[in-house]
Amino acid sequence: MAKLWAGVTAGVTDAAADDFNSSIRFDSRMFREDIRGSMAHAAMLEKCGILTAEENARLQAGLEGILADLEAGTLAVDPAAEDIHMFVEQVLTGRIGETGKKLHTARSRNDQVALDLRLYLRGECAALRGLIDALLRALLRRAEEHVDTILPGYTHLQRAQPVSFGHHLMAYAMMLLRDRDRLSDCEKRLNVSPIGCCALAGTTYATDRDYEAALLGFDAIAMNSMDGVSDRDFALELMSGLAILMMHLSRLAEEIILWSSWEFKFVELSDAYTTGSSIMPQKRNPDMAELVRGKTGRVYGDLMSLLTTLKGLPLAYNKDMQEDKEPVFDACDTAKACLGILAPLLDTMTVRADNMLAAARRGFINATDLADYMVGKGLPFRTAYKLAGSLVAKCMAGGEVLETLPLAAYQAVCPEIGEDVYGAVDLKNCLERRVSAGGAGSASVRAQLAWVRRKLDHDEDIH
């Protein structure tokens, strides 16, 4: 395919160099954005008197035909093309003749590729938000089912205090809400049009960048032409948000892996989201959750890759910046895949409330409540804390739990303890007494559920 940039050079490169230089294999996914941008550019050129109405009409019809043929599969992207921009322009010129050569007036590939990438990532942000919303609703469904399901809460991976399974899941809902907000915030800075910045210095033509930006749904235009073509902060910001999102998904995946193990057996995963072993017939491996955990490192690597690529680049455009697309595309694809698998995995997961309760009973997670009970009897907290610890030790030595320890054994340590101690250490009562805002009590968890639903239903940010 002839090089449209042939001029001072002959436009003839070595075959290996051609392949090394080409980006068509990964930027072809932006064909819709490239064509849509070109249609807006042609319309702007007509508005400014740079093209005639007839020329614009021919360009619009030609571009619409290319788009329709690509979407229908009747036109294949030529892998020999240097990039999607050159491919579309060459096909257009082949179809409508000399008028096609006028399309590139008052723009460069430098601002064109920046435009395409912003348009593409704007769509990715919308898709990612939709998938986050779907996972949030899956978490809300399961949390609502288990507002009263007692689960041992952990610190240091040691049983600590009673919570509900619903409360535990709502912690992840809060993380995802923040991820959702980060995407919304990223979109604000992403939605700025670079088209018209040209190669780096703008153009001598009297163009209307604001009109072209409005046609494409942008909120503003890049105010410095050098920054417009060299800025990839929007890609870094999106990838940073995706790295944080993946960290949250990885933490959830890790807990699912632990919960589904025989050592916990708090949940059982559907056969649809587990695999077997090639040698051990009894195995049900949580491979989908493990892959979410593993793919997190991949997204981190994508972010570091682009940060490293950009860190030493002088202004304005450099070919190094072609390396922006593969990592940001991969980060988006990976995050979407992980979000898409976790929602149905949660929906089909069986919760073993009996095992959760049994673990809670064996963990002395009501010891703090016992100390609080003794404070209510007039003891200083530090004294009550020490006595509660000695009572736990007494239980452990005698194979008891606080709920079954005889009253005489309680009173031998603390005479102020009465029969009402059993109500104080009952796990259900312990949970319900967590009445502080954001706490684990059922009223608080229901308030959390309502708050998150309101944010989703009205598409609100957290603040």
Mean pLDDT, rounded, for 130-134: 98
Point out the catalytic residue in the list 156, 278, 436, 463: 156
How distant is the alpha carbon of residue 306 from its chain centre?
18
Q: Which pLDDT value is given to residue 19?
A: 82
* C-alpha torsion 444→449→451→455, nearest 10: 160
The tokens describing 239, both together, are 């990838």
Q: What is the mean pLDDT of the segment spanning 115-129? A: 98
C-alpha distance from residue 217 to each of 57, 59, 66, 199, 285 (Å): 21, 21, 22, 22, 46
Name the residue type at position 366: N
- Decide if 277 is catalytic: yes
Q: CA nearest 115: which of 166, 46, 41? A: 41
So where are the chain's domains? Answer: 15-105, 110-205+220-358, 362-457
pLDDT of residue 457: 94
**pLDDT 10s digits, 224-269:** 999 999 999 999 999 999 999 999 999 999 999 999 999 999 999 9
Task: Give residue 4's pLDDT.
Answer: 58
How far apart are alpha carbons 149 and 170 in whole angstroms? 13
pLDDT band at 5 (very low <50, low <70, confident <90, very high): very low
d(CA 51, CA 54): 8
User: What global pTM score does this model have?
Assistant: 0.93
Q: Give 269-317 pLDDT, tens digit per residue.
A: 999 999 877 777 677 899 999 999 999 999 999 999 999 999 999 999 9
Q: What is the pLDDT of residue 396?
A: 93
- Rounded Cα distance, 92 and 64, in Å: 10
> What pLDDT shows up at residue 6?
54
pLDDT 10s digits, 324-370: 999 999 999 999 999 999 999 999 999 999 999 999 988 899 999 99
Q: Over the range 112-123, which residues count as b (16 or more CB within 10 Å of their CB) and which as e?
A: bbbbbbbbbbbe
Rounded mean pLDDT of the chain?
Answer: 95
Is the distance from CB of 160 to CB of 369 less than 8 angstroms? no
Which fold is adopted by the domain 362-457? Ribonucleotide Reductase Protein R1; domain 1 (1.10.40)
Q: 140: which residues sit within 8 A by CB, 6+ positions away?
A: 173, 449, 452, 453
- Give me the pLDDT at residue 110, please: 97
SS3 53: helix
The per-residue pLDDT for 431 is 94
pLDDT recorded at residue 317: 94
CATH superfamily of 15-105: Fumarase/aspartase (N-terminal domain) (1.10.275.10)
Max alpha carbon distance in the chain (Å)?
100
CB 33 within 8 A of CB 119: yes
DSSP H stretches of helix in 271-403: 287-310, 325-347, 353-362, 367-376, 381-398
Q: What is the CATH number of domain 110-205+220-358?
A: 1.20.200.10
CA distances from 447 to 76, 79, 109, 136, 139 (A): 53, 55, 52, 16, 15
What are φ and ψ of residue 275, in 5° steps? -130, 170
Catalytic residue among 22, 261, 277, 305: 277
- Rounded CA separation 386/239 (Å): 49
pLDDT greater than 60 at residue 3: no
